[in-house]
A = this chain, B = another copy of it.
Amino acid sequence: MARATERLQRYLEDELGECRSEAVEERLDELGTLEAAIGPEQVDTELDVLSALANETRYTLVRVLVAAEAELCVCELHAVVDVTESGLSHALSGLVEAGLVEGRKDGRWKKYRATNRAVALVTVIEGSVDE
């Protein structure tokens, strides 16, 4: 960190043209503020959600459920991903934990549907990529 701060100091001298040593503290503060404004625990949640989506099996499930705009049975979902029943169950449980999917038991079948969060995210991700 010491070396990094020195570098930042030199950078600021370079950018600002002058050499106020306070500038470094100030800048570090600003950067710290940017980071802090984010709210560390929210970031954790966001990372959990992103990690849940960043996997082919799980993302496919979410996209299919969002596209379906309806509940789908586990056995239906099994038809769209290429993993074992066990793998599918693990995947779905991860998605539930991330708040991307909700499950409901119906007799001996279990049905899942996408949450609003999933719909919002998938919509934007699709949109921001196909340009």
Which residue numbers of A lie inside 8 Å of B, CB to CB? 4-5, 7-8, 11, 14-15, 27-28, 31-32, 34-35, 37-38, 42-43, 45-47, 49-51, 53-56, 59-60, 63-64, 67-68, 73, 75-76, 78-80, 85, 107, 109, 116-117, 120-121, 124-131
Contact = CB atoms under 8 A, between A and B. Distances in A.
A85 B4 CA distance: 9
Nearest to A118: B128
A42 B55 CA distance: 14
- Most central of A28, A116, A121, A130 by chain B CB within 10 Å: A121
Contact of A67 (B4, B27, B38, B64): B38
B38 A63 contact: yes
